[in-house]
Every structure is written in structure tokens, then in C-alpha cells.
Amino acid sequence: MALRFATTRNKPLPKFTLAFVLASFTLIWLAQTRPQWQLFAQLAILPQDFSRMDYLALREWHRLLTALFLHANWFHWLGNMVIFLPLGIHLERHTSSLWLTVVFLLSGLVGNLASLLALHDSSHFLLGASGAISGLLGAWLRLFPQKRLHVLIPVGLYLQKARIPIVIFILIWLVTQFALQLNSHNYQVAWSAHIAGFLTGFLLASLMRP
């Protein structure tokens, strides 16, 4: 799948997008080169601690944001970056670095809070940028509903080019998230963060029109 956007504007450097990629890359590298639990214990979220109103958790609400920069493994990181890079670059160039930063962090924050409610008794670390990235999808849908994705569809032995409206792609994605959330006992993924982040990004884009 490829994303193509035509524009005649000067293209400013997507500062936040590049900074997030660099920061998350550095953290996943550190997590893979030393005892992983140490980094997660310092920056990730442990839902059961928050649900018990643990003494330590009460004084470390910053974890709701720092957890966005952590990933469980390289596959997790790459999967998020494949979606984040085109979204972040496009949105940042058509809005501003500050606008994108606010939407990204607030969507991730709300997504993590939703996950805490859904996974309140979990002993697994909650981490990853999926909720924040879902917020960018929601913002993208609100600001650029007419955009189309250029995709390759396999037809027999050939690949057929097609242009799919972004609204259809995102709606399919959102329905999938709701379906997975209903069957979330079979997964260790915070689907609720995806849904809450998406809705937050959509609302913020409505309130904070660039």
C-alpha cells in the first residue's frame, strides 16, 4: 500500500514526526540491548498498580505519556512506524508541529486511560503508540475526508492499481477495532486504546482546526 499526496506548497521538515521516530527507535534499541524489564518498570504502565491506587503509581502519572514511546519488540515498533510515518509527515506538513504534538499526545493519553479501565487487573505492561497513532487516523479522517489511498489489489496473477477513499479504509479499520475489542479476552492488545485514541483525534481535529 502506498500513500500519494499532491501539493505545490513548500514542504517543511516534519520535526515532531522525525523526533518521535528517533526517540522510540532509541528506546526500543535500549530495551533490546539490556534487561527489558528495567526500562519498562521505569516508563511503562502496569494497570494493576494504578487500579490499586498504588503509592508509586499515584506519583508517576507521567507513565501515561512515556509509555507511548516504548514498544515490546522490533516487530511492534516497525508495525507502528509503517502507519505513523506517512500519517505524521502528511499531517505535520499541512498543519504544524505543535498541532500534531498536541493531538498525538492527548490521543495517546486518553487511549491509555481507556486501557487502564479495560485492563485494570492486568499484570502485563501497557506500552506502545497505537492509541496516539489511532488519534492521527481520526484527525486525518476529519481534516482530509476526500483523500484516497493508492493500493495494489491482487487479481489472479496480476496486481491491479486502485484508489480507495481514505474514509472507507478508516471505517474498515475502526469496525475491526470494535470487533476485536468485543473478543479482547483472546488478545493481549489494548484495542480500547485504539478506539478511544481514534475518537479523541477526530474530536480534537474538529475543535482545533489548523
Looking at residue 203, what is its pLDDT? 95
- For the chain, domains (ranges, CATH) are 15-207 (1.20.1540.10)
E strand spans, the chain: 148-155, 158-165
Q: Is 149 left (phi over 0), alpha (psi -120 to 50) or beta?
A: beta
The whole-number pLDDT of residue 6 equals 44
Q: What angle do CA 181, 174, 114 make, to 5 degrees?
A: 50
At residue 2, the pLDDT reads 45
Helix (H, G, I), strand (E, B) or coil at 147: coil
| CA 122 remoteness from chain centre | 21
How far apart, in whole angstroms, are the C-alpha atoms of residue 13 and residue 93? 8
Low-confidence ranges of the chain (pLDDT < 70): 1-10, 35-37, 51-58, 149-157, 176-189, 210
Q: Which residues are catalytic?
A: 130, 194
The pLDDT assigned to 5 comes to: 45
Task: Give the pLDDT of residue 185.
Answer: 52
